[in-house]
C-alpha cells in the first residue's frame, strides 16, 4: 500500500533516494536584501523589500520548511503543498458550516490570508529568491492561493454587515467575493458602507497583484523554458 501511495504522489522517481541539500541559514534571504546582494535599491523600495523578506518569520510557512529540512526534497515540497491545500480548504469549510461566528477561527483565517497576501508581493519584488524550476507546479499552487483569497474574503463578507443585504448562504458569500475578485461588477450584492468598500478595494488590489504575478513573472519563465526545450530537441 505504501509503495502504491509513493507511486501515486511521487511518480516513477524514488523519493527516498533524492536527498535534501544541506540546510541553509534561514536568515540568508534577509542578509541578501540587507547587503544589496541582488539589487542596488534604496529608499522606499529597499524598506519594502526588507519588510517583505522579514515578514515571512511571522507566519507558519517558513517554520514548516525548518521542521522538514532533514527530509527529501520531494517530501519537503509535499509538506509545503499540503499546507497550501489546508489554507485553501479552511475558508471553504468555514463558509459551508457557518463557522465564521467562532472569533478565534475567524482571526486565524485572516492571519493566513495576510500570509498569502504578502507572499504574492514577495514573489513579485523578490523573484531572485524563487528557486522553483517547475513552472507548472508554481502556477497550480498560485491558483490555490487565489481561491484561498476568494474564499477568505467570502468569510469576511459573511461575518460582517457590509453589503446591501445579508448573506444567507456560503454560495452568496463566494459569489460576491468572486465577482469582486475578477472585477466583473455588481448586481444584487454591493457594499453599502466604508468598511465594505475598503474590503472591496483590498480584494481588487489582491487580484491585480495575482494577475501581475501571472503575466509578468511566470509567463517569461515559461517562455524561457519552452525556448530551452526547443533548443535541446
Q: What is the pLDDT of residues 7-48, one digit of tens each?
A: 556 666 555 554 544 445 557 788 888 888 777 778 898 899
Mean pLDDT check: name the lowest of 154-158, 165-169, 213-217.
213-217
With a threshold of 0.75, does the pTM exceed it?
yes
What separation, in Å, do the N-terminal and C-terminal C-alpha atoms of the chain show?
A: 38
Among 33, 90, 88, smallest CA distance to 57 is for: 33
Give the residues across from 163 on adjacent strands: 191
Range with the largest mean pLDDT of 69-73, 135-139, 223-227: 69-73
Mean pLDDT of the 153-170 span = 91
Among 162, 183, 155, smallest CA distance to 89 is for: 155
Between the alpha carbon of residue 55 and those of residues 19, 31, 75, 96, 135, the distances in Å are: 29, 14, 25, 31, 25
pLDDT at 232 over 60: no
Between the alpha carbon of residue 90 and those of residues 34, 68, 112, 182, the distances in Å are: 35, 22, 10, 21
Amino acid at each position: 500500500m505504501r509503495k502504491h501511495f509513493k507511486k501515486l504522489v511521487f511518480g516513477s522517481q524514488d523519493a527516498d533516494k533524492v536527498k535534501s541539500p544541506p540546510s541553509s541559514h534561514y536568515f540568508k534571504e534577509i542578509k541578501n536584501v540587507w547587503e544589496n546582494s541582488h539589487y542596488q535599491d534604496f529608499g522606499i523600495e529597499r524598506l519594502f523589500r526588507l519588510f517583505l523578506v522579514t515578514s515571512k518569520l511571522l507566519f507558519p510557512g517558513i517554520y514548516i520548511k525548518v521542521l522538514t529540512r532533514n527530509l527529501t526534497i520531494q517530501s519537503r515540497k509535499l509538506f509545503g503543498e499540503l499546507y497550501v491545500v489546508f489554507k485553501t480548504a479552511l475558508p471553504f469549510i468555514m463558509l459551508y458550516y457557518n463557522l465564521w461566528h467562532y472569533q478565534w477561527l475567524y482571526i486565524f483565517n485572516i492571519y493566513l490570508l495576510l500570509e498569502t497576501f504578502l507572499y504574492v508581493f514577495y514573489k513579485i519584488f523578490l523573484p531572485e529568491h524563487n528557486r522553483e524550476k517547475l513552472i507548472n507546479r508554481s502556477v497550480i499552487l498560485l491558483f490555490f492561493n487565489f481561491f484561498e483569497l476568494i474564499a477568505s474574503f467570502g468569510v469576511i463578507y459573511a461575518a460582517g454587515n457590509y453589503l446591501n443585504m445579508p448573506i444567507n448562504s456560503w454560495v452568496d458569500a463566494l459569489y460576491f467575493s468572486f465577482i469582486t475578485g475578477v472585477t466583473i461588477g455588481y448586481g444584487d450584492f454591493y457594499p453599502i458602507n466604508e468598511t465594505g468598500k475598503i474590503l472591496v478595494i483590498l480584494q481588487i488590489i489582491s487580484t491585480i497583484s495575482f494577475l501581475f504575478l501571472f503575466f509578468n513573472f511566470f509567463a517569461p519563465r515559461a517562455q524561457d523554458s519552452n525556448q530551452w526545450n526547443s533548443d535541446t530537441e
